[in-house]
Amino acid sequence: MIWSILLAAVLGGICYLDRTAAFQVMLHRPLVVASIMGAVFGDLAAGAQVGAVLELLYLVRLPVGASIPPDDTGAAVFGGAAAAVASSSIGLDGGSFTSILLLSVPCAELGKLADRFVRRANGRIARLTLESVERGDSEAVRHGLLAGLCLFAASGVALSLLFAGLGVSLSGVLLPRFGPESREQLSALLPAIPLLGAASVFSCSRTEKTAPVFYLTMTAVFAATFLFRWAG
């Protein structure tokens, strides 16, 4: 398990770099990250299930200007690890699924704080870079960028280590203490969480034209899938 957590930290660190510092090719999205974590801890499909829900939850918070959205990458590291471990121990039932999704929120908020800290520290690096350039050292720009990248990477690895460890502990220690009845009660909240994700997509895409399209599609797909499964 220790090796899995260390591997999760390294892979998580790479995904974290994609979030702000480098590439931005969506390797940091919850669906990707939670699936990777699921694979590392032995169940890719369980990780992907959690990742698919987390993928949509925070879309409405845009990383515009200096605003930092909640850290959905961190939530996915936690959720993917927890889901895979739960699936191989108590089973990924509705109650476990709901608890994992809801308990990923503190991770998302903690990751946001860490991101803010790194960006503040980068301010010092940027000032030192400017001072060195003023003294005639053009290489300082490369060193400054490298220092910033290392800081983002170190923060990503540390957060991934923490969140993967927390995810494993949740599913390995905490969730089994709750009986099936308690988990069954908690699963009543489950449908509300993906609907929050759908509302997030709706809010991002909302215009006069798209609002009726959203509700019409929702009704049509609901009716089609319900009747297909009900009749079948």
Partner 1 sequence: MGGGVRPVLRKIWLRQFLLQGCWNYEGMQNVGFAYCMLPALREQYKGRPEELIRALKRHLEFFNTHPAMAGVVLGASVRLEERVAEGEADPRAIGTFKVGLMGSLGAIGDSYFWGALKPMAAAAGAILSLVHPLLGIAALLLLYNVSHLAIRYRGFVAGTEGEERAARFLRGEGLARKTEDRKLVAAILGGAYAGVIGSRTALMFGGIATAAAVLVVAALLVHLFSTFFRKAVSPSELLLFLLVVGTLTLW
Residues 127 to 146: which contact partner 1 by CB under 8 A?
127, 129-130, 133-134, 136, 138, 141-142, 144-146
Is 88 an interacting residue with respect to partner 1 (CB under 8 A)?
no
Instruction: Single out the residue of 117, 174, 176, 225 in contact with partner 1 (rule: CB under 8 A).
Output: 225
DSSP 29-79: SHHHHHHHHHHHTT-HHHHHHHHHHHHHHTTTS---TT-----HHHHHHHH
Residue-level length of the chain: 232
Minimum gap (Å) between residue 153 Cβ and partner 1 = 10
**How far is the first Cα of the chain from the last one, in angstroms, to the nearest whole number?**
43
Enumerate residues 186-215 that contact partner 1 by CB under 8 A.
Answer: 186, 188-189, 191-207, 209-211, 213-215
Enumerate residues 167-186 that contact partner 1 by CB under 8 A.
Answer: 178, 182, 185-186
Instruction: Single out the residue of 41, 58, 97, 163 in contact with partner 1 (rule: CB under 8 A).
Output: 58
Alpha helices in 170-206 (DSSP H): 180-186, 192-205
Cβ-Cβ contacts under 8 Å for 50 (sequence gap 6 or more):
34, 38, 76, 79, 80, 82, 83, 97, 100, 101, 104
Would you say 42 or 222 has its CB closer to partner 1? 222
Minimum gap (Å) between residue 166 Cβ and partner 1 = 15
Whole-angstrom Cα distance, residue 135 to residue 98? 56
**Which stretch in 6-14, 30-38, 157-165, 168-176 sits in contact with partner 1 by CB under 8 A?**
30-38
Would you say 2 or 134 has its CB closer to partner 1? 134
Is 154 an interacting residue with respect to partner 1 (CB under 8 A)?
no
Cβ-Cβ contacts under 8 Å for 156 (sequence gap 6 or more):
12, 13, 14, 15, 16, 17, 19
Instruction: Single out the residue of 55, 85, 100, 165 in contact with partner 1 (rule: CB under 8 A).
Output: 55
Whole-angstrom Cα distance, residue 151 to residue 56? 28
Is 102 an interacting residue with respect to partner 1 (CB under 8 A)?
yes
Is 52 an interacting residue with respect to partner 1 (CB under 8 A)?
yes
Is 232 an interacting residue with respect to partner 1 (CB under 8 A)?
no
